[in-house]
Amino acid sequence: MRIVAAAVLAVTIAAPASAQDRQWPERTWVSINGGIQSAGTAFDDAFEVPLYTESERVTVQYPVKGGGLFGAHAGYRIWKRLTIGAGVTRYSRRADAQVQAQLPHPFFDNQFRAVEGTASALRGETAANVLIGWMQPVSDRVRVILTAGPSFINVEQTIVTAVEVAETYPYDTAAFTTASTRREGRTGTGFNAGADVTWMFTRHLGAGGIVQITRARARLAAGNDRTITVDAGGVQAGAGIRFFF
């Protein structure tokens, strides 16, 4: 959020009063960016599985690391400098989920065996952003577009569903071998806000950078009527080419 605010402030400072009257004759803009998305909000999961007449207790910590981002935005000036448009971003990154489990003993009650390990978990986010923008020419070559609007973020997440262990007689200890996982996806609704700064090379072509924040909350189905609530989105920063026509 701070980055976005700073960008807006920079645009405001960079735009002298005389520039307010500069013209922006093109109606349509397109930007294509590559960049990064910041680390997201880590989340935990805990569930129980019936085992040996008791319950195996499993907890999983899922980190959400920053990763590569690809995005495309487009808009159309509908009135004066007000623009509406849409954008799509795609982010994905693998990270090791920390898995811990307390397994009941097959012979004795209340005698749990602790195991822990990791499971490679993919986090993917595809965001569809509605962009309501204000186009602000700063100079003849520099243009700024401030945007905000609702976002629809489809979250894909690898979810740990079971812990596989190796155990041999006398079963007083067990060793983590792997975790069973499945890919789960849900779409959450949120918002976006950002600023795009373009340096025009020609009348129709430029290069620029974008800073944007997106946020949405999704409820992933984790089986057995259990859901995991995850926060999607984050701060996105990228750069790419711009087309105006």
Q: Which residues bind other proteins (CB under 8 A)?
A: 52-53, 106-109, 169-171
The minimum distance between CB 55 and other proteins, in angstroms, equals: 14
The minimum distance between CB 59 and other proteins, in angstroms, equals: 24
- The token pair that represents 148 in the structure block: 């905000």
Q: Which is nearer to other proteins, 12 or 111 (CB)?
A: 111
Q: Which is nearer to other proteins, 25 or 50 (CB)?
A: 50
The minimum distance between CB 106 and other proteins, in angstroms, equals: 6
- What distance in Å separates the CA atoms of residue 28 and residue 142, rounded to the nearest whole number? 16
Chain centroid offset of residue 162 CA: 25
The minimum distance between CB 173 and other proteins, in angstroms, equals: 12
- What distance in Å separates the CA atoms of residue 133 and residue 192, rounded to the nearest whole number? 11
What DSSP character marks residue 230?
A: E
Q: Which is nearer to other proteins, 107 or 245 (CB)?
A: 107
Q: Which is nearer to other proteins, 108 or 201 (CB)?
A: 108
The minimum distance between CB 90 and other proteins, in angstroms, equals: 46
Cβ contacts of residue 35 below 8 Å, gap of 6+?
A: 68, 69, 71, 210, 236, 237, 238, 239, 240
- Please spell the DSSP secondary structure of 90-149, one letter per residue: EEEEEEEEEEEEEEEPSSSTT-EEEEEEEEEEEEEEEEEEEEEEEEEE-SSSEEEEEEEE
Q: Which is nearer to other proteins, 51 or 241 (CB)?
A: 51
